[in-house]
């Protein structure tokens, strides 16, 4: 008969016996659990280390950026007269400035209309063409010029709008002009007279060369309202004349079409606010790079403190950090210290160690910063301090610019050879251009620029060769299709022969022309020359050419190096030197630790494999232990039954013997 529970009838504590036996059997599992906990602690420690390295790399990146972007301060003694901002590589010093007049935009006012919404004219389709240029000579009385000339500014784009029965009101004309994005702002004012509504036109840009000329072809009523030529019929009145800003910089006369003046002082943008005098001081702003160096030292010390905490041994608690004796942690610490302690290879021979700018190692391995020494170094040779951290590149040929130098570009000196110079597509006339343009006879030109077709209508009239070139350039660049495509041209003349040149370099650049004005402008057999991509080698290897840019081959030492060839001759073009400061060197070291194939990744992958192996071994042990426990329980249950049976037999025999004794 089976017992209801182990030990019943035998007083044998089967559960406790099996539990103690299994406790002994489970010791290998406990050892695996302890080993896994150790591995998990290491994984966590590596995560902390990775985070600290990332923070350090961020501080390093900020420092590298600050060293590349030199900061300058431009301070005006009278902020009401002008303000200034310095960038690039300005010339430091103090400048005396006098603002004589501010630039302003022209304002033209049309004749009054009784209604802003009523139709004007018959509704016949009318082309309104706007040109920008400069008014010279003559006199102005009550907003009307007499004896003046108007010269088109070829660099300014204008354009045309069409007015018909759908928009031939003041409101419709205003909206058509504004929606066309012609560089003209149209509005309507109400002056309170019997015909109060007036159209007001202003160029979007200020300056003497942004005066407006308007040609209206179509409805006579619209022409009578809008046609305006400062050198001829003027149907609008000028209420504000376009003018350039004029100022003196250290006594030198400067003119600017805008109140934002670039180039008067190298690397400085002036914003003129009112007439008056001011002194401008241009100095170097060392605060950003100093702050970045302080952040770099702080981030390194936090990283170093974290490594020491993870690898130290506490004699009082007799416990070590999670990475005590770990080779990876020691390698990170030693490699970073070696990189920081080495001499810098950047192009700044006057300063080539961190100690020279006040950054030095202390006895415990952390960095300290001597602010006074850093301030002195920044004041005496800012460029050398910046070069200490930021990479730099330079070309020995002045007609080769460094467009970019990527993180993959290795420091070194690389020879440059140009086999094909970059070229722009162009169209050159075969004879002097005809200077008279007649409406409907030779005023239409279809021109293709870099694959984009544009239709151009030239204003009728007789031109000089230079005025025709300016007018043609402005008309082509005003074409909506070219503006959308981002294509522009430059038109020049030489002895009356016109040349249209694309502003784009490369094999996709080309110019062609047709239409009834083509033969007048370019003759019967103009010469079209396609553009060309630059071609050549960098460091003896073929480089990729696009437009003016030569790019180093991917996977080589010049990977990421992009050169811009702006002119010169074919053949050897000198060398390009790429140097890397501490920023580049240390960044490469940290990248090696953090990359997917780096030291930390290989260590964490190894630990994860070990943890997976422990899991498999533990599963196998637990399965075996389940079997052992079942066997123990079966054995002790059988023993329990046997003892219980023997006890029952013993009790029976005892009873029988007692009966025999009583009988006797």
* Spatial CB neighbours of 506, under 8 Å, sequence gap ≥ 6: 422, 531, 532, 533, 546, 547, 548
Choose the weakest-confidence range: 40-54, 106-120, 449-463.
40-54
Q: In the predicted model, is pLDDT for residue 344 greater than 60?
A: yes
Q: In the predicted model, is pLDDT for residue 10 greater than 70?
A: no
Q: In the predicted model, is pLDDT for residue 212 greater than 70?
A: yes
For the segment 143-172, the average pLDDT, to the nearest whole number, is 93
Place of tokens 């544009």: 454
Q: In the predicted model, is pLDDT for residue 356 greater than 50?
A: yes
The string of pLDDT tens digits covering residues 426-452 is 999 999 999 999 988 999 999 999 999
Question: pLDDT higher for 577 or 629?
Answer: 577
Q: In the predicted model, is pLDDT for residue 7 greater than 70?
A: no
Paired tokens of 276: 């008056």
Paired tokens of 550: 């030569």
Cα separation of 583 and 166, whole Å? 64
Do 393 and 564 form a contact (C-beta atoms < 8 A)?
Answer: no
Choose the weakest-confidence range: 63-77, 225-239, 543-557.
63-77
pLDDT at 342: 80
The string of pLDDT tens digits covering residues 384-410 is 888 788 777 789 999 999 988 776 788
pLDDT at 550: 96
For the segment 365-379, the average pLDDT, to the nearest whole number, is 91
Paired tokens of 593: 């630790």
Cβ neighbourhood burial of 152 (10 Å; 0-12, 13-18, 19+): buried
Q: In the predicted model, is pLDDT for residue 348 greater than 60?
A: no
pLDDT at 326: 77
Question: pLDDT higher for 53 or 282?
Answer: 282
Q: In the predicted model, is pLDDT for residue 121 greater than 90?
A: yes
Q: How far is CA 577 from CA 289, 339, 384, 397, 462, in A?
A: 24, 22, 17, 11, 55
* Every domain of the chain and the residues it spans: 1-71+285-388+581-664, 72-102+246-284, 107-243, 392-422+534-579, 424-529
The pLDDT-based confidence of 636 (bands split at 50, 70, 90) is: confident
Cα separation of 627 and 535, whole Å? 77
The string of pLDDT tens digits covering residues 39-74 is 777 777 777 888 888 888 888 877 877 776 667 889
Q: What is the dihedral of CA 173, 186, 488, 127, to 10 degrees?
A: 20
Q: In the predicted model, is pLDDT for residue 247 greater than 80?
A: yes
pLDDT at 156: 87
Q: In the predicted model, is pLDDT for residue 537 greater than 90?
A: yes
| Percent over 70 (pLDDT), the chain | 96
- Please give the DSSP secondary-structure letter assigned to residue 396: S
CATH numeric code, 424-529: 2.60.40
The pLDDT-based confidence of 573 (bands split at 50, 70, 90) is: very high
Q: How far is CA 328 from CA 180, 333, 608, in A?
A: 65, 9, 16
Of the candidates 287, 283, 290, 258, the one whose C-alpha atom is nearest the C-alpha of residue 268 is: 283
Paired tokens of 555: 């996977």
Cβ neighbourhood burial of 154 (10 Å; 0-12, 13-18, 19+): buried
For strands 268-272 and 82-86, give the pairing: antiparallel
What sign results for the dihedral spanned by CA atoms 545, 546, 547, 552?
Answer: negative
């Amino acid at each position: 008969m089976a017992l209801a529970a182990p030990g019943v009838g035998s007083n044998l504590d089967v559960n406790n016996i099996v539990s103690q036996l299994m406790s002994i059997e489970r010791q290998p599992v406990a050892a695996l659990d302890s080993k896994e906990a150790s591995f998990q602690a290491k994984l966590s420690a590596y995560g902390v280390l990775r985070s600290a390295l990332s923070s350090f790399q961020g501080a390093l990146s900020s420092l590298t950026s600050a060293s590349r972007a030199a900061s300058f301060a431009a301070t005006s003694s009278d902020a009401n007269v002008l303000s200034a901002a310095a960038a690039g590589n300005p010339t430091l010093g103090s400048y005396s400035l006098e603002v004589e007049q501010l630039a302003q935009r022209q304002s033209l006012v049309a004749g009054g209309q009784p209604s802003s919404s009523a139709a004007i004219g018959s509704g016949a389709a009318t082309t309104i063409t706007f040109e920008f240029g400069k008014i010279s000579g003559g006199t102005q009385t009550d907003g009307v010029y007499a004896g003046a000339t108007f010269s088109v500014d070829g660099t300014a784009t204008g354009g045309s709008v069409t007015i018909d029965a759908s928009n031939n009101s003041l409101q419709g004309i205003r909206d058509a002009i504004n929606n066309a994005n012609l560089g003209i702002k149209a509005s309507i004012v109400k002056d309170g007279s019997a015909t109060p509504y007036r159209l007001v036109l202003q160029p979007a840009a200020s300056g003497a060369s942004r005066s407006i000329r308007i040609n209206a072809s179509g409805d006579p009523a619209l022409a009578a309202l809008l046609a305006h030529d400062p050198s001829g019929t003027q149907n609008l009145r000028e209420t504000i004349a376009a003018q350039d800003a004029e100022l003196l910089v250290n006594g030198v006369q400067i003119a600017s079409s805008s109140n934002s003046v670039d180039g008067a002082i190298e690397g400085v943008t002036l914003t003129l606010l009112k007439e008056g005098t001011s002194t401008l001081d241009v100095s170097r702003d060392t605060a950003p790079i100093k702050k970045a160096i302080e952040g770099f030292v702080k981030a390194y010390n936090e990283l170093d403190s974290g490594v020491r905490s993870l690898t130290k041994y506490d004699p009082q608690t007799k416990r070590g950090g999670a990475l005590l004796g770990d080779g990876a942690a020691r390698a990170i610490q030693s490699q970073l210290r070696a990189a920081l302690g080495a001499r810098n290879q950047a192009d700044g021979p006057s300063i080539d160690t961190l100690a020279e700018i006040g950054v030095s190692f202390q006895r415990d391995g952390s960095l300290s910063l001597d602010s006074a020494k850093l301030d002195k170094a920044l004041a005496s040779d800012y460029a050398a301090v910046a070069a200490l951290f930021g990479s730099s590149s330079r070309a020995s040929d002045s007609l080769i610019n460094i467009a970019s130098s990527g993180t993959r570009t290795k420091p070194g000196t690389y020879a440059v050879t140009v086999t094909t110079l970059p070229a722009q597509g162009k169209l050159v006339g075969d004879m002097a251009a005809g200077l008279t343009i007649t409406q409907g006879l030779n005023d239409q030109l279809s021109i293709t620029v870099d694959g984009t077709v544009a239709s151009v209508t030239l204003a009728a009239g007789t031109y000089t060769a230079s005025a025709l070139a300016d007018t043609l350039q402005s008309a082509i660049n005003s074409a909506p299709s070219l503006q959308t495509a981002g294509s522009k041209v430059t038109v020049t003349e030489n002895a009356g022969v016109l040349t249209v040149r694309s502003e784009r370099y490369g094999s996709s650049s080309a110019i062609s022309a047709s239409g009834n004005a083509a033969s007048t402008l370019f003759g019967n057999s103009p010469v079209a020359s396609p553009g060309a991509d630059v071609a050549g080698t960098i460091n003896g290897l073929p480089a990729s050419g696009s437009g003016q840019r030569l790019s180093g081959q991917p996977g080589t030492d010049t990977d990421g190096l992009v050169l811009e060839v702006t002119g010169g001759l074919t053949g050897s073009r000198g060398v390009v030197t790429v140097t890397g400061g501490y920023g580049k060197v240390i960044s490469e070291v940290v990248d090696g630790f953090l990359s997917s194939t780096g030291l930390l990744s290989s260590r964490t992958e190894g630990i994860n494999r070990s943890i997976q192996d422990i899991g498999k071994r533990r599963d196998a042990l637990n399965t075996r232990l389940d079997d052992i426990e079942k066997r123990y329980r079966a054995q002790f249950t059988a023993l329990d039954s046997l003892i219980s049976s023997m006890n029952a037999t013993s009790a029976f025999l005892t009873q029988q013997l007692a009966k025999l004794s009583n009988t006797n």
